[in-house]
């Protein structure tokens, strides 16, 4: 496994792979790798000649009062996980390497970003598409892999690839969960033992909404209210949102009549957790193994 820290070296390696007609699979991460990342890497490993993973905590997608400075980091652990998952190249640039001077251009999301997490994290997805635009140009992937726990991010990246004609095939990988349903996340380390026990009810609440749709309930208002009440009843967390939107366009609806995302975000003492289910009109999961 090769560790690369400069843009120039990463680009040169990617260009050489292109000359040799080797396909590149890419997993962009902010590090502190867990089982969810392993699933992305494993999926990418099966489908590509060269597997590249990036580890970069991107300051542009953190707000002024968010956890950029304390975001968990463990480069030694991450490199070990990458070796175990047979990653060929780990790209670990510094902030100065990625942003040596203030950006002259600014990417701003016009759609898909002003709902769900984007509603309370102004500018977050602008930072996401900016860093991914840079990474896509640096790594030159044929396929890029993203976890569907961050389903809004996947929808945003889908728009980026489509709008800017990146020759990249996107792969959405279903959420990896802990034993009782809690979605794997690097931020789970912020949870107390009691909060971790309660956090499982976020997913159970979403499952309750899914069951309602399967049973024939189509009214958004009813579904969202039932999920919200369930989460309030079983956790001490503060609900940021529970919402039901079309997917991947993330447009508002009153009635379930197409593919939708049922999503929630809940604040605990030191962590904000997100989760979702992406469902067909009949309530079946859209993305399965």
Say if residue 61 carries a ligand binding annotation: yes
Q: What tokens does 176 get?
A: 């990896």
Say if residue 148 carries a ligand binding annotation: yes
Active site residue 37: yes
Cis peptide bond upstream of 114, omega within 30 = no
Find the catalytic residue in 37, 77, 124, 236: 37
Say if residue 236 carries a ligand binding annotation: no
Distance CA 61, CA 64 (A): 10
User: The sheet that has 2-4: what strands, in order across it?
Assistant: 2-4, 89-91, 50-55, 24-29, 143-147, 169-173
- Alpha-carbon separation of residue 157 from 98, 152, 165, 218 (angstroms): 19, 9, 12, 28
Say if residue 109 carries a ligand binding annotation: no
Say if residue 31 carries a ligand binding annotation: yes
Say if residue 19 carries a ligand binding annotation: no
Say if residue 34 carries a ligand binding annotation: yes
What number of H helices and E strands is found in the chain? 9, 9
Among the listed residues 175, 185, 152, 97, the one whose alpha carbon sits nearest the alpha carbon of residue 263: 152
Distance CA 108, CA 128 (A): 10
Say if residue 153 carries a ligand binding annotation: yes
Say if residue 124 carries a ligand binding annotation: no
**Residues labelled catalytic:** 37
Q: Which residues are annotated as a binding site for ATP?
A: 30-37, 147-150, 176, 184-187
Q: Which residues are annotated as a binding site?
A: 30-37, 61, 147-150, 153, 176, 184-187
Q: Which residues are annotated as a binding site for beta-alanine?
A: 61
């Amino acid at each position: 496994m090769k560790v690369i820290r400069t843009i120039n070296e990463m680009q040169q390696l990617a260009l050489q792979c292109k000359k040799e007609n080797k396909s590149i699979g890419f997993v962009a991460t902010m590090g502190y790798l867990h089982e969810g990342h392993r699933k992305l890497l494993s999926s990418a490993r099966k489908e590509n000649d060269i597997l590249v993973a990036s580890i970069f905590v991107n300051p542009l997608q953190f707000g002024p009062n968010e956890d950029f400075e304390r975001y968990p980091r463990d480069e030694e652990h991450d490199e070990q996980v990458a070796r175990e998952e047979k990653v060929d190249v780990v790209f670990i640039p510094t902030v100065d390497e990625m942003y040596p001077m203030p950006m002259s251009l600014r990417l701003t999301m016009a759609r898909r970003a002003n709902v769900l997490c984007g509603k309370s994290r102004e500018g977050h997805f602008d930072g996401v598409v900016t860093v991914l635009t840079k990474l896509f140009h640096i790594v030159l992937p044929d396929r890029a892999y993203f976890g569907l726990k961050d389903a809004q991010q996947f929808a945003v990246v889908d728009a980026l690839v489509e709008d800017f004609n990146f020759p990249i095939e996107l792969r959405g990988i279903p959420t990896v969960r802990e034993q009782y349903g809690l979605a794997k996340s690097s931020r789970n380390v912020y949870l107390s033992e009691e909060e971790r026990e309660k956090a499982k009810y976020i997913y159970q609440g979403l499952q309750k909404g899914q069951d309602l749709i399967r049973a024939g309930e189509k009214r958004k208002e009813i579904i969202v209210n039932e999920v919200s009440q369930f989460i309030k009843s079983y956790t001490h967390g503060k609900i940021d949102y529970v919402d039901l939107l079309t997917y991947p366009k993330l447009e508002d609806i009153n009635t379930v009549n197409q593919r939708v995302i049922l999503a929630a975000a809940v604040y605990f003492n030191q962590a904000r957790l997100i989760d979702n289910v992406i469902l067909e009109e009949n309530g079946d999961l859209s993305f399965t193994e």
